[in-house]
Chain A
Amino acid sequence: MLLIDCPWCGPRQDSEFAYGGQSDIARPAAPETASDADWAQYLFMRTNARGLQREQWLHAAGCRQWFNVERDTVTYRISRVYRCGEPASTDTDPP
């Protein structure tokens, strides 16, 4: 059981949330010129990281907000929770 600290509601168990997969996957900037291979990369190919991963969660049975989580996929330890739009890297965190 994961304990996820929703940025709006506080810590709740993972059965309240829906998982949204890897964060920061950019849609092809020029869709009309993107090749089939580009679309495959965007739609299907994933890093599937072993270790630290930034991922999206939806608080489906709570505030219904999407937000980001940085989690280790081996230990399942959550190191950071941040709202959409906040910078992804801890290096650029506001003081």
Chain B
Amino acid sequence: MSRYSIFSLARNALTRHENWPQAWRSPAPKREYDVLIVGGGGHGLATAYYLAKLHGITNVAVLEKGWLGGGNTARNTTIVRSNYLWDESTHLYEHAMKLWEGLSQDLNFNVMFSQRGVLNLGHSLQDMRDITRRVHANRLNGVDGEVLDAAQVKRLVPVINDSPRARYPILGASFQPRGGIARHDAVAWGFARAADARGVDIIQQCEVTAIRRESGKVTGVDTTRGFIGAGKIGLVAAGHSSVLAAMAGLRLPLQSHPLQAFVSEPIKPVLHTVVMSNAVHAYISQSDKGDLVIGAGIDAYTGYGQRGSFHTIEHAMEAIVEMFPSFSRVRMNRQWGGIVDICPDACPIIGTTPIKGLYLNCGWGTGGFKATPGSGWVFAHTIAQDRPHPLNDAFSLERFASGRLIDEHGAAAVAH
């Protein structure tokens, strides 16, 4: 791997930037690997990277049915934060946050992580009580957080509608200054390049069609490019996790829903932080390019179609225009949908399965992007050691039988 630096930039400028090496190889699949990662999104690529970097397992292939980061990695609204309510999730997301803070240097790839702060608005007294409780819980867990009143919110976001006569008046917010956004494509590309440099094979256009097992243990997968053997297989397929797990005879507590988002035409800098509202279910930030990046809620029905209903978009837009009346004449450039795998308790499943050598990383639902490095880090540990790391121990598939759910849905009213 040729290192990216100011010197390589200058050197390549001399040859008119026509001789940059490709960022990663596109090898033909080998007959056998030590570990197969199914799913070439951010989480899968991060898993492969940490397997190679921290556990010395480099005979690894990442299988992707489309192209790298073409699924939810490229379809989210790129918000990063770690202000969850319960200890288990706070520790997991805070671990990810710490990795984010050094990620560009670690990968030698600018993931444009920008800690511009995340506001979660409160519109009612109960919202404010919940926010206060969550900020206290965060601080006890060593996560930064402040409770702001309406005037402090207005100072931070001058364009916000602070009228007490608004349909959902703003009473205050929680603020996590270390939260922010990152460049989603760069995250996939950075992990892919760094994993490739350590010997990981990244195989695109390779769809898994069956998972082969012998006496309760995985032996490999059939793909559109032939059989590939492996003793360990990690499934990291987000919305398609149920489909893959069914190939191994497993049923999961997941429901795949369409989730939509949109970006506006680029405008001058107007919004310097991330603003989220659970009550009206909308979230917004402004990218470095100037687009307003806006996320909607999920559609009620399940679907794999990567598109949703128009009234869901309309609902999110109503909320945004209510909060930011001056955005009412900004035109939207693009709109898209992704398929999110929702767990009953709004927390992921990361761990082992009843089938030996098969590992699951799914159920991130609407908020997986923020966890990308942490998710790969704990999943790599789980695969390498054949048991979960203390950080993801509570996120097992067994919790649905034992009843030890981690109820982020109800407790924190978490939007993503």
Q: In the bound complex, do residue B253 and residue A19 qualify as a contact, i.e. CB atoms below 8 Å apart?
A: no
Question: What residues on A are CB-neighbors of B240 within 8 Å?
Answer: 50
| B residues with CB within 8 A of A | 240, 242-243, 246, 251-256, 300-305, 309-311, 344, 400-403
Given contacts A36-B401, A50-B240, A73-B302, contact A45 B251 (CB under 8 A): yes
Binary flags per residue of A1-29, CB closer than 8 Å to B gives 1, else 0: 11000000000011101110100000000
Cross-chain pairs A/B with CB under 8 angstroms, 30 sampled: A1-B309, A1-B311, A14-B301, A14-B309, A15-B309, A15-B311, A19-B300, A19-B302, A21-B302, A36-B402, A37-B401, A40-B253, A40-B401, A41-B251, A43-B344, A44-B253, A45-B251, A48-B242, A48-B243, A48-B254, A48-B302, A50-B240, A50-B242, A50-B256, A53-B302, A55-B301, A73-B256, A73-B304, A74-B303, A74-B305
Candidates A37, A41, A44, A50; contact of B304 at CB < 8 Å: A50
| A residues lining the B interface (CB < 8 Å) | 1-2, 13-15, 17-19, 21, 36-37, 39-41, 43-48, 50, 53, 55, 71, 73-76
Q: Which of A14, A37, A71 has the most CB of B within 10 A?
A: A14
Q: Are A2 and B301 in contact (CB under 8 A)?
A: yes
A5 to chain B, nearest CB (A): 15
Which A residues are in CB contact (< 8 Å) with B303? Answer: 73-74, 76
A88–B252 Cα gap in the complex (Å)? 24
Cα distance, A59 to B253, chains bound together (Å): 26
A53–B310 Cα distance when bound, in Å, is 22
| Count of A-B residue pairs with CB < 8 Å | 73
| Other contacts beyond A14-B301, A15-B309: 17, CB < 8 A | A1-B309, A2-B309, A13-B311, A14-B309, A39-B401, A40-B253, A40-B401, A44-B253, A45-B252, A45-B253, A47-B242, A47-B246, A48-B255, A48-B302, A50-B304, A71-B301, A73-B256
User: Which of B243, B254, B401 has its CB near the most chain A CB atoms (within 10 A)?
Assistant: B401
A38 to chain B, nearest CB (A): 9
CB contacts (< 8 Å) of A19 on chain B: these are 300-302
Within 8 Å by CB of B400, from A1, A40, A74, lies: A40
The chain B residue with its CB closest to the CB of A74 is B304
Q: Which residues of A contact B300 (CB under 8 A)?
A: 14, 17-19
Sorted nearest first, the 4 A-B pairs with minimum C-beta distance are A44-B253, A48-B242, A19-B300, A40-B401
Please state if A44 and B305 are interface contacts (CB–CB under 8 Å). no
B309: chain A residues within 8 A (beta carbon):
1-2, 14-15
Residues on the A chain within 8 Å of B310, using CB: 1
Measured between C-beta atoms, what is the minimum distance from A95 to chain B in Å?
31
Nearest Cβ on chain B to A68's Cβ, whole angstroms? 13
Which B residue's beta carbon lies closest to that of A71? B301
> Which residues of A have CB within 8 Å of B311?
1, 13-15
Q: CB-CB < 8 A to A44: which residues of B?
A: 253, 344, 400
Within the complex, the shortest CB–CB distance from B20 to chain A, in Å, comes to 39
The docked-state distance in angstroms from the alpha carbon of A37 to that of B403 is 10
Q: How far is the CA of A37 from the CA of B246 in the complex (A)?
A: 17
Most B-side CB within 10 Å, residue of A18, A37, A46, A48: A48
Query: How far does the alpha carbon of A8 sit from the alpha carbon of B307 in the complex, in Å?
Result: 28
Alpha-carbon distance between A22 and B45 when the two chains are bound, in angstroms:
33
Report how far A47 CA is from B249 CA in the complex, Å.
Answer: 11
The reply to whether A46 and B305 contact each other, CB–CB distance below 8 Å, is no
Chain A residue at smallest Cβ distance from B250: A45
Please determine whether B305 and A75 come into contact, CB atoms closer than 8 angstroms. yes
Task: Report yes or no: B304 in contact with A46, Cβ–Cβ below 8 A.
Answer: no
Chain A residues whose CB sits within 8 angstroms of the CB of B255 once the complex forms: 21, 46, 48
> Nearest Cβ distance between residue B319 and chain A, in whole angstroms?
16
Q: Which residues of A contact B301 (CB under 8 A)?
A: 2, 14, 19, 55, 71
B101 to A: closest C-beta gap in Å: 35
- Complex CA distance for A18 and B251, rounded to whole angstroms: 25
CA distance A45 to B265 in the complex (A): 42
